Structure 1
Amino acid sequence: MIKSCATIALVPQIKYGPWIYWNDLESAMKKASDLGFDAIELFTPASDTIGIEELKGLLAKYKLELVALGTGAGKVIHGLTLTDPDPEIRKKAISFISDMISFGATFGAPAIIGSMQGNVLAGNDREKTLSWLAEALEILGEKAEKAGTFLIYEPLNRYETNLFNTLNAGVKFLESLKTKNVKLLADLFHMNIEEADLAQSITDASSHINHIHFADSNRKAIGLGHTEMESVARAIQSINYSGYISAEAFPEPSSDEAALQTIQSFKKYFR
């Protein structure tokens, strides 16, 4: 069964971005639970931001699951990416994500590699840069497998990375890896920019998709932009997707309104 998920940002250095709830973990979890969300996805500064026992207690109290961890704080706070020309920075990036994998594995929650994938920087060779990304994903994919979970790779739009922008490009890259423990994230906002046909792209990449970010064309909650969701929802259901639909969307007009709009849209398309 497809389940709903709310995003919560707990990174004090960030004041705005595509996360529904902000800063107050317990308050956010209570609100998500009251609205009927099944799970949460966390964006934290580090793997030790929240104690494991504390989080277990809150998840039990509000009958929620932790289903994914964002790693973007590694780039935002520390400037780390997996494709930096400096091998020491790449090593630190791998270590940062590895710690996130270990924390998330306690809850069966994979780490997401989005902005930490980085870019081909000016003056650098694309193939060399991609070899660094591949090397990192091999290491991290194996780390996740040993921890009993998997790793999620997210193709981003052209304004955020020049590595891979479409699901098809992401699939081809993942299929080139030895590890089969790296899965694909389909983010509807990024797809609105890059994909010619969202529904067809989801169908074509079906065997690799293991997480979905639920946001409209303007990155607000679904229903507040112009994404044609009927065909997208049919495609998600047709591939027998049984994962989470996670609202990585702006908290507009407010967090509470974005959360309500999201859960109403989720129920409309997936219940």
Structure 2
Amino acid sequence: MKLAITAAETAAAHAPIVLRGPFADTMRQAAGIGFDAVEYHLADPDTLDISRIRHVAKATGMAVASIGTGPAYIHDGLSLTSPDAGVRGAAVGRMLRFIRLAHAFDSVVIIGLIKGQIRECGDAAAYDRHLASALENCLPLAGELGVTLVLEAMNRYECDTLNTIDECLEFVKRFNSDRLKIHIDTFHMNIEEGDIRKSIEAGGARIGHVHIADSNRMWPGRGHYDFLETVQTLKAIGYTGALSVECLARPTPEEAAQGALDTLRMVTGAVRQP
């Protein structure tokens, strides 16, 4: 499992993004700390200079593990389940561009906040219909390019649907596609899952990405979450993707990043991967 860390050019002070600044700079910073990969969060895929990032990745031995799409929802108001058909169409168009970007780096694409909320859509049945339609429009390109989309299970205080691993599993199984998996997050699981180990086992091969933060959203080691159990369970189910740190950048981004890396290395026995 590669150890990755979240990065964005800009983010709110309370956002669980650790490194902030130009993407090439944060990749170098993550490499210097000792991570294997970065997870880039951005609103518009066209703002990422692919050739420059590839150059830095080659020079540092880094990878781009994942692409976070949340800023497209936060900053541009795009939602795959908006009651406005024009907004839904723009969101699907943006997702297709995210898929092409992910293809350039062999990354997964996260479907988190961009999936919207039932309360914004106004109706649970309409929400389900809109999200299913959006995925049906995205999965052909994902299949063609070999890109995996990961649907994030988020806690009830941040999203009013698809809160648990079981709920996300039930939804993604409807598509019978190996290009649609679920995305788990230790912070959200700590709130929603009754038995985290059993929930991860139930997810099995359908788990496509993992976010790491402690029970209080701080870096792992600053709360009470059992990371050793989670990592051991992920190894047992054969998960080989990234463990991506998505925690608060406190007390400083550098301290949060180093603290997270130290903890993850301890529980995984990891060393910097070639």
Residues 156-194 of structure 1 show CA distances to partners (whole Å, capped at 9, x for unaligned) of 111121121000110010011243311111111111111
Aligned-pair CA distance for 1:266: 1.1
Please state whether the residue corresponding to 1:121 is helix, strand or coil.
helix
Deviations 1:48-79 (A, max 9, x none): 11211111111112110011101111111111
The residue type equivalent to 2:197 in the other structure is A
> Aligned letter for 1:224?
R
Question: Aligned residue for 2:83?
Answer: 85
Q: What are the within-5 Å matches in structure 2 for residues 1-271 of structure 1?
A: 2-11=1-10, 14-121=12-119, 124-271=122-269
**Deviation of residue 155 (structure 1)?**
1.2
Gaps of 5+ in 1: none
Could you give the per-residue CA deviations for residues 126-183 of structure 1, whole angstroms, max 9, x where no partner exists? 1221011111112212221112211111011111211210001100100112433111
Tell me which amino acid in the other structure corresponds to 1:191. Answer: M
Q: Find the aligned partners of 2:120 and 2:100 in 1 and give their Cα distance.
A: 34
- 2:78–2:88: 8 Å Cα contact kept in structure 1? yes
TM-score by length of 2: 0.94
Deviations along 1:80-137, one digit per CA (max 9) or x if unpaired, are 1111111111111111111111111111112111001111126832122101111111
Task: Provide the rounded CA distance (Å) in 2 between the counterparts of 1:37 and 1:146.
Answer: 30
Verify the 8 A CA contact 2:184 2:209 in the aligned structure 1: yes
The runs of at least 4 consecutive aligned structure 1 residues that moved more than 3 Å come to: none
SS in 2 for 1:207: helix
Q: What letter matches 1:195 in structure 2?
A: E
Q: Is residue 142–residue 181 contact of structure 1 (8 Å, CA) maintained in 2? A: no
Q: How far off its partner does 1:11 sit?
A: 3.6
Shift of 1:226: 1.2
What CA distance in whole angstroms lies between the structure 2 residues aligned with 1:18 and 1:98?
A: 25
In 2, Cα distance between equivalents of 1:29 and 1:133: 33
Distance in structure 2 (CA, Å) of the matches to 1:46 and 1:172: 30
Give the SS at the match of 1:106.
Answer: helix
The residue matched to 1:222 in structure 2 has which SS? coil
Post-superposition Cα deviations, 1:205-254, rounded to whole Å, max 9, x if no partner, equal: 11210110011111111101111223222211111211110001111111
Q: Distance in 2 between matches of 1:152 and 1:219?
A: 21
Shift of 1:44: 1.5
Query: Which AA in structure 1 matches 2:122?
Result: N
State how far apart, in whole Å, the 2-side matches of 1:122 and 1:234 are: 38
Assess if the C-alpha contact under 8 Å between 2:205 and 2:238 holds in 1: no
Separation (CA, whole Å) in 2 of partners of 1:181 and 1:242: 16
Is contact 1:11-1:45 (8 Å) kept? no
Structure richer in helix, relative to its length: 2
CA RMSD of aligned residues (A): 1.5
Separation in 1, partners of 2:242, 2:120: 37
What is the rounded CA distance, in whole Å, between the counterparts of 1:180 and 1:139 in structure 2? 15
Give the corresponding residue for 2:272: none
- Greater mean deviation of Cα atoms: 231-240 or 19-28: 19-28
